[in-house]
Amino acid sequence: MEGLIHVLSKTAIGQDRKLVNDDIILSNIEDAYQSSNELIKNGLISENGFKEFVLPYRVNSANIHTWRRQVWHQYHKHSFSGITRTSALVDSCNRINDSLKSWFKFSYTNKLEDTLTYSHITHGKEGTCVSMATIAAYTLRAFGVPVSIDFTPAWGNMPGSHVWNSLVLAHDVSIPFLGAEANIGKYEPLYLIKDGENSPYSTYRKPGKIYRYVYSAQKETPYYKYGHLNYFLPMSVNSRMIDVTAQYLPVSDITFTNPQINGEPKLVYINNYNDGKWVPVMATERKEDAYLFSNLARDLLYCVSTYGESPAETTILPFYLTPAGKPILLQPSSKKIDIVLNRMQSIEFDQMDVAKKEWNVKAFARIARGHVRSAPVEG
């Protein structure tokens, strides 16, 4: 429980280790094992999946509460019994997700969604992908099913970030879905607009990094080693997550050496270009005068950066990581060129402008095929 905090009220937070006593821990262990026991014996889920995604007494940073018992009361059961095949487990999870879809509505009304209790969400009945992933985790973990919360801190080709779920099965197999929206086996979190099967007109949201929240502290990471210092910018990453980018996308490892970085900083950051600014999505520490950034998604623009008190102390090193995994450093040039612009923003941005008003599949297709563009206007 080292470093874990929870929200007591709108103005107060508490440390888990001061509130979570032996009775809470023992009751939680009994409830978690009671729900997962049959799934573990039948080899459908792993011991590690149970430990990280069912056993923990908490799902997010909400005040400590008996969410398992609340779910059991809501559904009049405490486990999925009689399940011996993965397909049956998926079907049971999807039925629960269908029930969540029946009452949950997407909206931006909730604040501090990673601090909401099970009751907050079930009574409010709305929120963003954060609440959607959280309510699925609360509900399915209560039934003994290892369900993770996966996220990208920032897209690399459009504004915003995203959160979704994965069903974590035995043998490190995981299947993405989104609580209260899309079922297991029918959700592809990186698609923006899917135009048929494998269509060249489909559009994608591209993340530089994808992480999965876990309960156990990852003590080998810089987020654990330096988390108590003021090294980190406002990043949604922390020491209780693992990197799962390679489970979703082709990745590459990139190394930068000291001569390319100003000074000898302990930490260096990788950023994605997101909504007009560089957003840090990963930190790495100096080892043997080099900085290794592992598992970077390809075909994206990145920037290596340090953060000093003045611009002269800050390194900004942009590069493009090609689809083949080759980094191309981008150096400014005094040579001037002419560029012809036939649209003012990307296909993805044009589609998002439509999506903000209505989900119009025909309009998305016309944009993707180049029939409709955000053409430049006079002035």
For the whole model, what pTM was predicted? 0.94
Residue intervals of the chain classified under CATH 3.10.620 are 5-188
Does the domain at 5-188 match CATH 3.90.1720? Answer given as: no
Residue intervals of the chain classified under CATH 2.60.40 are 212-329
152 with 209: CB under 8 angstroms? yes
The Cα 307–Cα 263 span in angstroms is 11
The Cα 269–Cα 275 span in angstroms is 18
Cα within 13 Å of Cα(350), Cβ side: 21
CA nearest 1: which of 148, 217, 229? Answer: 217
317 phi/psi in degrees, rounded to 5: -130, 85
64 with 57: CB under 8 angstroms? yes
The Cα 215–Cα 16 span in angstroms is 13
The Cα 5–Cα 7 span in angstroms is 7
Place of tokens 């049956």: 88
Report helix, strand and coil shares of the chain as percent, to nearest 5. Answer: 30, 25, 45
Q: What is the pLDDT along the chain (379 residues), one digit of tens a residue?
A: 888 999 888 788 999 999 999 999 999 999 999 999 999 999 999 999 999 999 999 999 999 999 999 999 999 999 999 999 999 999 999 999 999 999 999 998 888 899 999 999 999 999 999 999 999 999 999 999 999 999 999 999 988 999 999 999 998 899 999 999 999 999 999 999 988 776 888 999 999 999 999 999 999 999 998 877 766 766 678 899 999 999 999 999 999 887 778 778 888 999 999 888 889 999 999 998 899 999 999 999 999 988 765 666 677 889 999 999 999 999 888 999 999 888 898 899 999 899 889 989 899 999 999 999 899 988 8
CA nearest 245: which of 303, 190, 295? Answer: 295
pLDDT for residue 230: 67
Give the end-to-end CA distance of the chain in Å, rounded to a whole number: 58
For helices 129-142 and 67-75, angle between their N-to-C axes, nearest 10 degrees: 80
164 with 178: CB under 8 angstroms? yes
- Those residues whose C-beta lies under 8 Å from the C-beta of residue 98, and which sit 6 or more positions away, are 183
pLDDT for residue 308: 64
pLDDT for residue 351: 93
- Those residues whose C-beta lies under 8 Å from the C-beta of residue 187, and which sit 6 or more positions away, are 164, 176, 177, 178, 181
202 with 195: CB under 8 angstroms? yes
Amino acid in the structure at residue 225: K
CA nearest 16: which of 76, 60, 74, 69? Answer: 60
Kindly report the CATH number that applies to the domain delimited by 212-329. 2.60.40
